[in-house]
Chains A and B, each alone.
Chain A
């Protein structure tokens, strides 16, 4: 029965062909494909067994697992029962003790080279890794062991992708993102603290459907979810362009949904799907709920604060002046707004720290754009 396909399985579970096709259509659309991809998805589900998944936990807060179980498209219930075979996940699995260990060993042995390794959290490296102990041993050992025979590796969330909060200064445990430990195969990074549920299940659906990795950008993030800034599709963007800003919490601008740039918003420098996919079934996203984006899917975001400083306060050329000018003049002059925007969107994507290096030339827009190009040039091996 091991080669049961997804479709034959759900068919025997009493799910109609119509519902199955609806599900496939939903998957296609939620992945950003057109309807022309539906037959391919249908074909994939009709012929493939469920994908074995091993999900490990290092130093983390479990927000990624919590986010994962919020998925509505597809429902996490369906993911767990019908799409993947979550053979090891210590947060949710029934087994424990020796029986849980056995599940892990069996999956790795039975599906050598075929299972997907999902990692939530990261390994500490100080104290020989003993800031995170699993089964009496450092987590980093378990991670290396499970990674060796994995078909593909997903770094779920910012902890695994970039280190996140425990790696913020002064990083007392020496926590590192998992690609610094697993160097012999690509690690797909899904940053976010946590990532959006449908981003997580979307990646899984993609891999199950097409039996290949999604297209990745130069930082190994799937392009389909991480190629746009939050600012690009923010519903408050019109106010930014018109120079209408929230000046302080709960002022008239806040009540009118003006742009949060001046009270601290990293939407212009953050690549994620929050403003398009939104959260928890499309209900809202951080900016829509009145708070600036803290940039949780960007590397090192914890040390790019304070969060309530507008980006311009972190010593990046002249935006503060420009934003204020626009705010005061209320001209909303297209030219000025676009200038601000060009700076905000293009320049800030760089690591601000580096962008503000003390060299006298580094303050110019041209230099910074140049730097950005360098940074974004695809690296070898990635």
Chain B
């Protein structure tokens, strides 16, 4: 039994005795994720194992290709946070080759990136996360009049009449009565962990539908500058969309007055939607769950942000970043550590518990020296077979995700990490919204280190980004009005002007967290390429020292109200907005039973 109780270097206790519950794959996420937990006799989670269960090999596919093309390949790493990999990629190539971009290109890229942030946060909250807090079926019992009173109390958003809410309710009622429940079929409706009164549930469901409509509009900003969404165009050396506002209809140029006006109007509506719908909803829903403060995991210990939104073009130093760069270790908020992506002693990746091969299994590697060589081997204590895994063996290799570490520490990344670092840096634009929200909820600062804190930070960040959109749009207009129309620098477009060997790094704070692409170029082609993505940080398996990743840490010590319907696991995992690929079920060894019972 001694072997079943472990203390990790970060100070978490892991206990493998008790029931093993397997959730595979987890739905309402991006990609394929498996989660296994052990619960004790009081149904509290005592051990957690998270496994990324898909691999596509894009790092190998881009080898030998033209570095100017690679944004298109890497953008296909994700169609949900679309664009962020492309941005990391063009920045990596530009960093390697010493290419600078014009100020307008910087404004346009920033507008596209901020648009992505707001869009992703909105869709994540309403369509991937809200149903962990909102009981759709309960809203059928709501009094629309009361919903209106609540809505009008928390927001000045105009769509809040009793007629509006009763229309939504009526539509939903008929939908449910049709017997074809579609997306809402077999949800955990009526689960004891749902705490909202029917009226607030109705408010949330109405906004679920409204956000579904609204998200279509936000992305039109990408369509103007990048031609489509998902997967807009990008370009090494700037942006491909030329500006022409003085000829008839812009003479067919991508950026003309009509398109700029469209962008401007969408930005205004985005600010309104976030201020009047998203933020008030988070605070209203949060106020019913402020006692549910599980899921903090690594957030009170180790958090990391590469920083983002350079104020001036081409300056990626920490002092020029509007979202601060830094790392906090062991919860020491007074001591913000510097982050240098080129320093091979800081960020390194292990594959000890991942389905990859390194020459030396115990070593770690900086991404510039990274190797991605698949090796699918299951541990000796795996239950099941190679093509029917019933239970993973976390002592061996158990995930397609590598384990990145910053100064040997597992780190949490994402909106909460960014807000903690912004707060600790004393930045008013991060500190003030956090303090205001916490005081509105009536919870102490420590409440931030929780599942709810993660969800709140995302909403605060959407608001920050929406307002920043206005700033960069104004700057773009100012540039154009002063006669600057350049959008691309082509002086180093031709590979014959490149050095025979070069290496670079591009970083982005993506919606889900810190994203880095490391590139090595030789004779005009890609020699090596490594991406360390936010979910690689958060969803990492253990390392040789036994440090656990953010997903695993966050699940520990959470009680499950009904283990056969592990809503709380989804609630916390979703708060990270996992980016793997999607599908879920609690599987079982014996057909229909729900949880595996394994006394080890």
B581 contacts across to A, CB distance below 8 A: 57, 59-62, 121, 132
- Interface size, A (range): 35 or more
A164 contacts across to B, CB distance below 8 A: 76
Out of A12, A93, A128, A135, name the residue touching B25 (CB < 8 Å). A135
> Which of A74-82, A335-343, A357-365 lies at the interface?
A74-82
Out of A70, A85, A135, A279, name the residue touching B24 (CB < 8 Å). A135
What total of A-B pairs shows CB separation below 8 Å?
A: 375
Q: Is residue A382 contacting chain B, with contact meaning CB distance below 8 A?
A: no
Say yes or no: B386 contacts A280, CB within 8 Å: no
B565 contacts across to A, CB distance below 8 A: 97, 99
* Cross-chain pairs A/B with CB under 8 angstroms, 30 sampled: A1-B178, A9-B178, A12-B170, A62-B31, A69-B123, A69-B215, A77-B212, A80-B183, A81-B182, A87-B185, A89-B183, A92-B127, A93-B28, A94-B186, A96-B26, A98-B594, A100-B186, A100-B584, A131-B376, A132-B581, A135-B24, A136-B22, A172-B56, A281-B216, A284-B224, A286-B233, A288-B254, A305-B69, A306-B65, A307-B72
A75, A80, A87, A165: which has the most chain B beta carbons within 10 Å?
A165
Out of B187, B225, B232, name the residue touching A94 (CB < 8 Å). B187
Say yes or no: A70 contacts B229, CB within 8 Å: yes
CB distance from B73 to the nearest CB of A (A): 6
Q: CA A133 – CA B78 in complex, angstroms?
A: 18
CB distance from B219 to the nearest CB of A (A): 6
> Which of A181-189, A250-258, A315-323 lies at the interface?
A250-258
B462 contacts across to A, CB distance below 8 A: none
Q: Is residue B466 contacting chain A, with contact meaning CB distance below 8 A?
A: no
**B215-248 interface mask toward A, CB cutoff 8 Å, 1 = contact, 0 = none?**
1100110111111111111010111111110010
Q: Is residue A52 contacting chain B, with contact meaning CB distance below 8 A?
A: yes
**A254-277 interface mask toward B, CB cutoff 8 Å, 1 = contact, 0 = none?**
111100000000000000001000
Which positions 33-66 of chain A face chain B at CB distance < 8 Å? 49-50, 52, 56-57, 59-66
Say yes or no: A63 contacts B231, CB within 8 Å: yes
Say yes or no: A63 contacts B186, CB within 8 Å: no
Q: CA A37 – CA B332 in complex, angstroms?
A: 68
**B565-582 interface mask toward A, CB cutoff 8 Å, 1 = contact, 0 = none?**
110001000000000011
Out of B56, B80, B181, B566, name the residue touching A165 (CB < 8 Å). B56
Say yes or no: A280 contacts B182, CB within 8 Å: no
A61 contacts across to B, CB distance below 8 A: 76-80, 581
Given the contacts A13-B174, A175-B56, A72 and B183 also touching, CB distance less than 8 Å = no
Out of A121, A136, A257, A291, name the residue touching B253 (CB < 8 Å). A257
Q: CA A274 – CA B36 in complex, angstroms?
A: 44
Say yes or no: B588 contacts A98, CB within 8 Å: yes
Q: Is residue B34 contacting chain A, with contact meaning CB distance below 8 A?
A: yes
Say yes or no: A285 contacts B228, CB within 8 Å: yes
Interface residues of B (CB under 8 A from A): 22-32, 34, 53-58, 60-61, 65-66, 68-69, 72-73, 76-80, 82, 123, 127-128, 131, 136, 167, 170-171, 174-175, 177-188, 209, 212-213, 215-216, 219-220, 222-233, 235, 237-244, 247, 250-254, 259, 262, 374, 376, 384, 386-390, 400, 485-488, 490, 493, 564-566, 570, 581-588, 592, 594
Q: Is residue A227 contacting chain B, with contact meaning CB distance below 8 A?
A: no
Say yes or no: A133 contacts B493, CB within 8 Å: no
Q: Is residue A193 contacting chain B, with contact meaning CB distance below 8 A?
A: yes
Out of A121, A193, A239, A249, name the residue touching B488 (CB < 8 Å). A249
Say yes or no: B183 contacts A289, CB within 8 Å: no
A94 contacts across to B, CB distance below 8 A: 28, 131, 136, 183-188
Interface residues of A (CB under 8 A from B): 1-2, 4, 9, 12-14, 49-50, 52, 56-57, 59-67, 69-72, 75-77, 80-82, 84-87, 89-103, 106, 121, 127-139, 141, 164-166, 168-173, 175, 193-194, 196, 235-236, 239, 248-250, 254-257, 274, 279-281, 283-291, 294, 296, 302, 305-308
Say yes or no: B253 contacts A66, CB within 8 Å: no
Q: CA A103 – CA B183 in complex, angstroms?
A: 10
CB distance from A119 to the nearest CB of B (A): 12
A14, A135, A136, A171: which has the most chain B beta carbons within 10 Å?
A136
Out of A69, A70, A307, name the residue touching B69 (CB < 8 Å). A307
A235 contacts across to B, CB distance below 8 A: 252
Out of A1, A70, A257, name the residue touching B251 (CB < 8 Å). A257
